[in-house]
Structure formats: structure tokens, C-alpha cells
Chains A and B, each alone.
Chain A
């Protein structure tokens, strides 16, 4: 059993009591909601005559269903319009802060909370979205929940939960140019598997992680859930504090000094004990790309699609399903695979540093003929910042479409969808069958730089050749 880790300390400080079942009633410091997983929760509250217990600890935005081209209201999709209206009503009726389209602060829920300083070290954070693990980058314990649990948090600001084990994942050394946080997490999931993290919180540590900026740490923690871990976190350090300083919801004045002291005190102790420890060497990590239908089916861009013989027995059935669905053959190089659509965005890779890196490679180049390529900033603030830096001009000059913020084609609940068997190079987080809006559409996950390289060359291309 873990002891002395940040996870243990935060769990302890948020424990209300032990429930008769043996589970913990855990206080949730920040609750984030959006239009997809909250309407039924509010309906359940109304049915039971319950009120929102801490309306000031819930913050809302709209992200999954928003169109990225025509955002005029009412939305052309009447179902999407109904969802946003329901959220507007629920927030108004319950006194919940709501960042709507055009507010200047709307965006993907896992982009806006950090950028405003709402996400802070030592908090417990819940949201009806599996990528809530993103907020762990700040040393928060953050996890996705379902709608019945959204109801529980609204009603009581607490959840009934069983404590997780803690696995320390250490990555040491310097990443090579052209290798990003996205490659690190795809590599980790490849090695530990898509269910390796079930029952665990992942603590990311080591010199590679320490050298990462906050947005890179968010990319890393974001995909913890793809490795089966409901939450992942990084211990807060000077990089975290520098990021938070002066953001509007960050503590100010004397409270800032008190905060830094408390944030420092909740770091995992040097002699903390873990349920498991795994170590990786950054130098061995290459640009990594998925070839199959789970985020664990990743290979280095220079590798070939694995043959059944190269895989463990447990992985062969899902690989066989993937060969057929992806129309890729065992032993085939992944480099050179022709792509149809290129998407940069999502809660994994839709932040300003992602767009800067993408623009760096797009500058002076052209999207290949026949490839549809588009950039979706993670929030209104990211979009505004990118435009202030002229990134939108670089992208448009290179033939990329420049869109409005939202989740977009990560999960394709809005009009951005693959068509038929199109193959997409995507900076998002899931390559599941049908994920990007076509029941036969195909997805290759990769870093934003690699997506740009694919857009320009028209096929999977090793971005290191441009570094």
C-alpha cells in the first residue's frame, strides 16, 4: 500500500468519512461540467428535490457539441441546440458559473480550467469526462465520473470511492528533437498496456517530466485513462507555480505564499512508498504512432506493423481485428501510409504550445493535394493568443483550415467527422473504431508535429527529418 505520496496526502485531506460499505466519502474541490454528461444529473436532482450544495465549486462550459465553423444560434443541429439550452438553463437556475460561446473564456473543459488558474495543486477534481486526468499535471487528483456521480457531486460535493493504488512511472533523460510528451505517453501505454493502469493512479516523475512545461505535463496526464489509470499526476514544482502565478483564480498576495508552502508540502515524500515503480529512458523514445484500434497499439514511426508472432498471446485477437479494420498488414511499414484528413486539436494537444509547434513545421510548407487539414484551438483564449502571434496566418497560408474552439473531431459529436473509410492523422487521444464520426473511419494517433508532417507530405512521415 502506498504511503507518503501526493495521492495519499490529498486523499487523506479530502476524506469526509468512511462509508458503511468501506468506501471513502471524498470531498471534491472542483467540479467541472459540460453539456453532454450533466443534463440527466440535473434532472435526477430535480426528481429527488435536491439542491446543489456548493454551487461556487462547480464551473461549466460547452465543448463537445459546438460547431467549429458556423456557431450562430440556434445551432443547425437542433439536438445540439437543445443540449446547450439545457446547460444554460441548469447553470442559471442553480447559480453555476458558465463560460458560454463568445464569453472569451469558452473552450474544452480541460483546457479552460488550467488556463484560468482554476486547476490547482492538492485539489480533488471531478468531471463527467474521462480526460479529467489532465488536471493531474498540477498535482491535483483528478478523475472522470459518470452522470450518476455528477449528480452526487452536485448534491453533496462528495463521491463514494475506493482508494487507488499508486504506480510511480519514472522517465529520465532528455527527449530527442521531434519527440514530444505525446510520444512519451503513447510509448508508456504501448509498454504497460491499455488495462495496465486499472486500479492505479499514475505518478509521473523523473528528469524528463521535470523538464516538461505545464502543457506537456497536461498532454501526459490527459492520456492516463487510455492506459487504464483513472488519474495521473505530476508533483507540483517551480514550473507549476510559475504557470499559476497571476492567473485570475490563483491565490494572490499573502495567500500566494501560503499556497506555495502548502503545495510544496503535499509533494510525494522522498521516502514515499509505492505499490509499483516503472522506469523508462527518454533516449529510447521515438515519435510514436498508433496503427490499430486501441491507444496501446502504438509503434515508433520507423517500425513496421507488428506481426502476430511479435505480440503476446493476449494481444493477438485485438490485433487481428485491427489489421482488418485499419486495412494494414503485419510487417508493413507505417511510414508512407497515405492519409486523408489531418486534425490538430483536442484536450490532449489543443493548447498554445501545441499550436506553436505545429505552426513551426507548417510555416513555408503546403498541405498536400487531396488532404483535408484543420486546426481547432482548445479554447477561445488559445485562439486569441494564436491569432495575436500570427499562427492562424501561417496555418491558412499553408492550406490548413482555422476553426473555432471545441472538442471537434476528437469524438465527432459536432459536424466535424470522417467520411467512409477515410484515414485520419490526429493529435487526439482515441483511435477506437468509429471514434471520429464514421463507423468505418480510421485514426492514427500522433503528436501535432507529426500531424503537420502527414498533412504536408500526404502520408505518415518522420518529423525528425525536418528537425
Chain B
């Protein structure tokens, strides 16, 4: 399953605010399911209900956007992959923000959704540009590590390991991991506790 992710380009949606947690992205009642199907409709369900149509995910000018632009510590809290799944199923293919919570970020990598960080000034400038003109195309380029919009470009950051996985199409690590069965067995055989806790099996 090799699928290289080198650049994402499309219209963008601004979501302003720090510390937006995964309970807000997808409230727990929507986790009562055994598939991720249909989660897109419930992304930010409670925030949207409270904002009565004024939440960015409800505004007509941002429908069809592919890049989500957020601020600090986005995706903090619960490890639920339902959160990035809901965002992805809504249509988002990449996120740019000031910072991301670690488990959220790891989930996005495993799903093939790049999350890149940029300075507060850059994020604010992109959010303002797309708010002023929702037709603005925002391009996130993992080769040059730049975000581009209008005639502007600014640097972006991403962990080197994750970046390599996107560029080489190995963000879905499962096959790579499974292929190493002998090495995995060798590591396991060196761990003393696997000998002691025979009662587990």
C-alpha cells in the first residue's frame, strides 16, 4: 500500500482557537460504533450546534475545503482516532497549525494525513487570507517544506521521520512492521519478562 504524499493543494478552512480537544472534534456519544463510517457528518457536532450555523464547518464558503488551518495544541485529550477520521471524512486532506497534540499527530500520520506546523504569524496570516477570500488556494509542500498562498510562501515544519514516511509513501507502516517477523522474534527473545509471565498465555 504505497501512496506517496508530497504536496496537498486546495481551498482551506480556518478554525481559530488553542487547545481544541478530541472530545470537541467528535463527542463521545458518536464513538458508539464499530466502524468509522459516517463520522464526517458529526465532526465538531456540539460546537456547531451551539454556533447555530456560524461554525466554519457549516459556513457555505468553506464547504469542499481540503486544508484545515488551526492554532495551538490541536487534538489534545483522548486518543480516539475517530477525531482525525471525522475530519478526514468531512473532506480534509492536510492540517497546518501552530502545534498538535502527540497522539492526534501520530493518528494522522498512520492515516496518511499530513499535519505540519508553522509560526503563529504564518498561521494567523493564512487564517486571515482564507477568511477574506475563501477561494484562496493553500498549498502545503512537503518537498520544499513551505506553505504557499497567493504570492506568499512561508516555512513549515514536520518531524523528519513522519516527513520521510509521507514522501516515500510508507506512512501506513503496517506492512513494513509485519515483514520483520524474525527480527521481532529476536527482540522478544531478549526480553526477560516474556519468560516470566507465562501465565498470560
Contact = CB atoms under 8 A, between A and B. Distances in A.
Nearest to B181: A53
A147 B26 CA distance: 15
B120 to A, nearest CB: 9
Nearest to A253: B196
Given A29-B193, A149-B106, A318-B17, 9 more contacts: A39-B34, A128-B81, A146-B79, A159-B173, A162-B159, A162-B161, A255-B195, A262-B193, A411-B78
A79 B32 CA distance: 6
A328 B34 CA distance: 39
B8 to A, nearest CB: 19
Interface in A24-51: 25, 27, 29, 36-37, 39-40, 43-44, 48, 50
Given A13-B190, A83-B32, A162-B159, A228 B101 contact: yes
A65 B186 CA distance: 38
A59 interface: yes
4 closest residue pairs by CB, A with B? A146-B107, A146-B81, A56-B201, A148-B110
A21 B193 contact: no
Given A144-B79, A432-B24, A433-B46, A158 B177 contact: yes
Contacts of A147: 36, 81-82, 107
B85 to A, nearest CB: 8
Given A413-B28, A433-B24, A130 B200 contact: no
B80 A146 contact: yes
Interface in A134-170: 143-149, 151-152, 155-162
15 contacts: A16-B180, A21-B170, A23-B161, A25-B180, A25-B184, A79-B32, A128-B79, A146-B84, A146-B107, A152-B110, A159-B177, A262-B193, A317-B17, A412-B29, A434-B27
Which of A22, A132, A412 lies at the interface centre, i.e. has the most chain B CB atoms within 10 A of its CB? A22
A328 to B, nearest CB: 17
Interface of B: 17-19, 21, 23-24, 27-29, 31-36, 46-47, 49-50, 72-73, 76-82, 84, 99, 101-103, 106-107, 110-111, 159-162, 164-165, 168, 170, 172-174, 176-178, 180-181, 183-184, 186-188, 190-197, 199-201
Contacts of B111: 148
Interface string A239-266: 0000000001101000100110010000
B35 A40 contact: yes
Nearest to A262: B192
Nearest to A321: B17
A194 interface: yes
Interface of A: 13-17, 19-23, 25, 27, 29, 36-37, 39-40, 43-44, 48, 50, 53-54, 56-57, 59, 64-65, 77, 79-80, 82-83, 86, 97, 118, 120, 122-123, 128-130, 132, 143-149, 151-152, 155-162, 194-195, 198-199, 225-226, 228, 230, 248-249, 251, 255, 258-259, 262, 294, 314, 317-318, 321, 411-413, 430, 432-435, 437, 439-440
A160 B199 contact: no
Given A156-B184, A258-B192, A86 B197 contact: no
B196 A258 contact: yes
B163 to A, nearest CB: 8
Given A83-B34, A145-B79, A314 B18 contact: yes
B110 A36 contact: no
Nearest to B164: A21
B168 A21 contact: yes
